[in-house]
Amino acid sequence: MRHVDAAAIIDLVEQRLTASEREMYHQHLSECRECAAEYDYWWTFLSGLGPSQLKDAPEDVIDDCITIFEKPNPSPNTFQKARILLDSFIEPLPAMGLRGTIVAARQLVLRVDGLDIHLRISGKESNRTIQGQLLPLTRTALIDGAQVELRVEGQPAQFAFTDALGEFRFNDVPAGSCSFAIDLLSEGRTAHFLVQGG
Ligand SMILES: [Zn+2]
């Protein structure tokens, strides 16, 4: 069979599939290292290992991870359209609730060609904290030092830069839809996307 796509893997992690679908995918995962790694990745992410907890990994482990990543090759300047893979507002995460995790934040995963953008939006509507992480799909390149621009209509733009793990954070984000522009300097392109609602 073909590789299991990310949406199916998310359904699998969240136990939303029928027994026969589960069996079919687990069979594939047992034979395909690529999909098994993808599954592990999503399981870890959806289990609530958010950006703040990722920072708690031992320093030497982080150093090891960073050294195995490579610099990306430059690609032509292109405008990419984002696709939502997961939005906990639209699709609540039952599996997380079952594990006793309180889901007080909105979690989103967006995909722009070759890049997953994880967002966690928490806090009061008028004073939100947005944590994010950029994860290249190939996982051969971390995105360090990319400028992230956030605009909420009627407000001045806010800027943040990704750290060595591709993470960024905005504090005191006012209410309203959030328009992001991520300048992927190393790849010579910009990723634009809009997160509507709170
Ligand atoms: Zn596969």
**How confident is the model over 8-22, as pLDDT tens digits?**
888 888 778 888 888
Distance, CA 139 to ligand 1 centroid (Å)? 16
Average pLDDT over residues 28-46: 84
Distance, CA 35 to ligand 1 centroid (Å)? 4
- Whether pLDDT at 149 is above 80: yes
Distance, CA 123 to ligand 1 centroid (Å)? 38
Distance, CA 36 to ligand 1 centroid (Å)? 7
- Whether pLDDT at 54 is above 60: no
| pLDDT of amino acid 177 | 84
User: What percent of the chain shows pLDDT beyond 90?
Assistant: 9
| pLDDT of amino acid 135 | 82
- Whether pLDDT at 93 is above 80: no
Q: What's the whole-number average pLDDT of the chain?
A: 74
- What domains sit in the chain, N to C, each tagged with a CATH number? 6-64 (no CATH), 72-195 (2.60.40)
Are 188 and 75 spatial neighbours (Cβ–Cβ below 8 Å)?
yes
- Protein residues within 5 Å, CB atom, of ion ligand 1: 3, 32, 34-35
Distance, CA 2 to ligand 1 centroid (Å)? 6
Distance CA 114, CA 133 (A): 14
| pLDDT of amino acid 170 | 95
The H-assigned helical ranges of 14-118 are: 19-31, 33-46, 51-54, 59-68, 94-98
| pLDDT of amino acid 158 | 94
| pLDDT of amino acid 140 | 61
Distance of CA 98 to the CA centre of its chain: 22
